[in-house]
Amino acid sequence: MKKDRMGMFVLAAACIAGLAACHGTRELSDLQLTQLLRTERASATDPRAPLDARAVNCLKAWSGDAALTGGLEPASTSEAAKTACKQRIDGWIADAGRNPDKLRFDELSAPPSVRRAAALLVDHRSVAALPSAGDRPPAALMPARPAPMPPPSNSSRTVEAIDVADATAAVNELDSLCQQAKQLAASGDSAQPLARYANYCGKRVEQMRTRITVAANSGNERQVKAVTENAQRVLAVGRQLAAGKQGNAAVKDQ
């Protein structure tokens, strides 16, 4: 009798220490990992869809494996960063379109799953670099004038560094509001004003990040300013919605 009680105590302790001990950790397939961790613009049915690098790095930070966390920036392994990025992935986990097999975070962050996700990130990266057919950014992200052509590869011209800190900060905060909106929508709480963000904010964030990168690489300061101003306008509306206000502010196209 005493041995039976001791065995039950050990099992209970294992369950408390980690859910995987109770539920069991499944071996996740490439298709499951790709479907859940794909970028916002990728198709849900594409088995070689590009993976979201920030999501993979988040899982590395949570893996507890020194070999996986060793290459990460110190800031991305802080408790605050880990909490924020986990909330983003939790929103994806709650999305039945991304997660039809109801994968759990502890399964995704298990070292074998993270190592496979990291390999898929590299393997699918060449696909991510190819533009989708007919893929055009919305008018709000288009420059007032065509961006200048980049210099030839044999040119000696040096592109002057462009400050993108304000643009990046605005888009990061917009991304955070977007994840909150998706979680509200996934939970069925569509009465919340912020839930209206869920239908379009994800693609808008990805397009803005791409826009910032292109402008910074080409030294187009005017373009960075345009996307910064647009992000801040969209962000102002998001803040109103997050505060529970309907908001009448309109987002003007550039």
CA–CA distances in Å: residue 85 to residues 20, 74, 179: 21, 14, 10
Burial of 39: CB neighbours in 10 Å, binned 0-12, 13-18, 19+: middle
Residue 129: band (very low, low, confident or very high) from pLDDT cuts 50, 70, 90: very low
Do 148 and 214 belong to one domain?
A: yes
pLDDT at res. 32: 94
Separation CA 225–CA 142 (nearest Å):
12
- 219-245 per-position pLDDT tens digit: 777 877 887 787 788 777 777 777 765
Do 226 and 148 belong to one domain?
A: yes
Bridge partner list, 51? 38
Do 146 and 118 belong to one domain?
A: no
Range of the domain at 102: 23-127
Torsion angle of the four alpha carbons 23, 85, 48, 29, in this order, in degrees rounded to the nearest 10? -10
The total domain count for the chain is 2
For the cut 60, the answer to whether the pLDDT of residue 141 exceeds it is: no
pLDDT at res. 52: 93
Give yes or no for a contact between 68 and 118, defined as CB atoms under 8 angstroms apart. yes
Do 97 and 36 belong to one domain?
A: yes
For residue 252, being part of any structural domain is answered with no
Do 29 and 117 belong to one domain?
A: yes
Q: Give all strands (DSSP E) within 32-82, no chain letters.
A: none
Separation CA 181–CA 87 (nearest Å):
12
Residue 30: φ, ψ to 5°: -60, -40
Of 242, 239, 236, which is closest to residue 250 (Cα–Cα)? 236
Do 164 and 201 belong to one domain?
A: yes
- 182-212 per-position pLDDT tens digit: 777 777 666 666 666 666 677 777 888 888 7
Do 107 and 194 belong to one domain?
A: no
pLDDT at res. 116: 95
For the cut 70, the answer to whether the pLDDT of residue 5 exceeds it is: no
CA 57, 241, 93, 135 torsion-angle sign: negative
For the cut 70, the answer to whether the pLDDT of residue 59 exceeds it is: yes
Give yes or no for a contact between 181 and 243, defined as CB atoms under 8 angstroms apart. no
Do 117 and 158 belong to one domain?
A: no
pLDDT at res. 92: 95
Identify which of 19-33, 69-83, 203-217 has the greatest average pLDDT. Answer: 69-83
